Structure formats: C-alpha cells, structure tokens
Chains A and B, each alone.
Chain A
Amino acid sequence: AQRVTQPEKLLSVFKGAPVELKCNYSYSGSPELFWYVQYSRQRLQLLLRHISRESIKGFTADLNKGETSFHLKKPFAQEEDSAMYYCALSPSGTSYGKLTFGQGTILTVHP
C-alpha cells in the first residue's frame, strides 16, 4: 500500500524568505507525485506534478526516487502563498486516478 508523509503540519516564514515543504512517500512501483493547494475559501487545486517538471507560481518540486521524496520549494515566499498544501500520490496501472494524500502543511507567510 502507498503512503504519503508530510512531517510539518504548520510552517511559518517571512515574506521573501525561502520555503520548503517536505513530502516523503512509500510505494513499490512508479508513482505520479503531485502538490495540491487550497487557498482560503477556495477548492483544492493542482499546483504542480512531477512529470511536467514545471515551475508554477515560483514553486518547484523534484522527485528524488532514492530518498522517496518530493519536496516543494520556493526561493522567495509571498504573502499570497499562505495556504494549505497537500502532497499526493497516484499509483500506476489499474489504480490510476486514485490519490493518496499526505496530512497537509499549513503555510503562513508573514509580511
């Protein structure tokens, strides 16, 4: 069975500081990894996925298969980045489409 762990429930930084949200996973196959974000009073939405290797809103995440990690990073945090962030895993094969979520990290960026 797959598992996603986000060790930090709360993370506070000041505007302009670097931020890293940690995510570790366990899965025997080749998973897809995602970061989802939920801003205040909005629905959950995709931030980025590992297969596209893109930068969204200044955030990047690199899949490290050796460390089974998919940490989310941003060099200069902004106040509008304050939100709940979920790391999620989707297995390959017949279970495609199902997501296993981490516990979530509430990021607060102070002015």
Chain B
Amino acid sequence: SAVISQKPSRDICQRGTSLTIQCQVDSQVTMMFWYRQQPGQSLTLIATANQGSEATYESGFVIDKFPISRPNLTFSTLTVSNMSPEDSSIYLCSVRANTEAFFGQGTRLTVV
C-alpha cells in the first residue's frame, strides 16, 4: 500500500496568483498522477509526473498553467498558475502501487 500526504488541504486564493500543492508518499514510486475534480464533475487526469523527466500532460492541460516538479521518487508538486475562478476545484495526487491506485486527501482550492 501507499500513504499519501497532500498539502495544503484547502486554500482560498486571489485570482491572478499561483498556488503550489505538495504531495508526499511514504514509499518510492515510479509514477505519480495529478487529477482535478471540478465542482459536480468527475476526476480528470491532469498529468503524469515521472522522476527525472518532464511531466506528461493530458489533452487540455499545459505546462505553463500547471507546472509540475518531481525531484525524487517520493515527492511531487503541482502549481496552479495565474488562477481564475474556473480553477476552483479539488486537486488530487495519486500513485499506483501494484495494481491499486492510492489517493491523497485532496486540496480544495477556491479562487476569488
């Protein structure tokens, strides 16, 4: 199994600012995943973070808006840049261990 700690758990931010979300895993994992859950919507994959290489972004998500760091096998950050109210969502970090995906508790972001 894997235990994921995500920080912050929630934040209220001004539009135009940026927020960095941290994800710490208690074991080494090759890939880490970042998801977004907009209000009333399902989870959508933003990108896959690989250690030692650039993140791989899904269609509709770009590095300038969601830069990701992966400095080692247990840690990753996702930055939401130049925020607008449309970025208000829950952001989740996830890892795959064996055949199971584990999730952080999520970061609830409100942009005002």
Contact = CB atoms under 8 A, between A and B. Distances in A.
A45 B3 CA distance: 11
B66 interface: no
A103 B42 contact: yes
Interface residues of B, number: 19
Contacts of B101: 34, 36, 46, 88, 90, 97, 99
Contacts, number: 43
Given A97-B31, A97-B96, A104 B106 contact: no
Interface of B: 31, 33, 41-45, 48, 92, 94, 96, 99-106
A95 to B, nearest CB: 9
A49 interface: yes
A69 interface: no
